[in-house]
Every structure is written in C-alpha cells, then in structure tokens.
C-alpha cells in the first residue's frame, strides 16, 4: 500500500473512539533502506484547524488494526 492511498483518512483510536488526526497532515518515520513506514507523526489540532503548541501523536505501523475507505482504526492505550 502506498502513502497516497492512506492520505486524507481519519485516524480513530479503537480503545476510546477518540479522533487522533487526519493522515496527510503528517510526517513519516521511514526505514531508509527498505522505504517501509514505521510510524506516522500526526500534529495535534484544535477546532477549526488551529495547530496546538508543537504537540504530535506517534502512530506506529504495528498499532494499525484496520484500514477502511475513510478511516484508519488504531489501538493506542493512553
């Protein structure tokens, strides 16, 4: 699966149903040798798209449980 296939999908936490962000507004952690994605770094936003103070959520590839048409379900315990 390519990154462009994942972009614009909303990330939702399976544990509590919280919205973690939208892919496409993220940075990636890549393995430089293989090009595989290890993690997504999703910036935290408040209402109306205003960015919070330099906080971000790290979503590891292993935390992804399901990729749907519009949503990515992850399992993150707080």
Q: What is the mean pLDDT of residues 48-62?
A: 73
- Count Cβ atoms below 10 Å from residue 60 Cβ, excluding itself: 13
Q: pTM score, two decimals?
A: 0.76
Q: Which residue range is the domain that position 33 belongs to?
A: 3-74
Structure confidence by residue, pLDDT tens digits, 21-32 = 888 756 788 899
How many structural domains compose the chain?
1
> So what's the pLDDT on residue 33?
94
Q: What whole-number percentage of the chain has pLDDT above 70?
A: 81
> So what's the pLDDT on residue 26?
64
Q: Which residue has the higher pLDDT, 56 or 45?
A: 56
Instruction: Specify the CATH number for the domain of residue 16.
Output: 2.30.30.240
């Amino acid at each position: 699966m390519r990154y462009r296939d994942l972009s614009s999908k909303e990330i939702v936490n399976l544990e509590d149903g919280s919205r973690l962000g939208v892919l496409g507004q993220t940075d990636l952690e890549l393995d430089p040798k293989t090009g595989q994605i290890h993690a997504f770094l999703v910036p935290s936003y408040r209402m109306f798209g205003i960015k919070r103070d330099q906080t971000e959520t790290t979503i590891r590839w292993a935390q992804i449980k399901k990729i749907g048409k519009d949503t990515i379900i992850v399992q993150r315990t707080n």
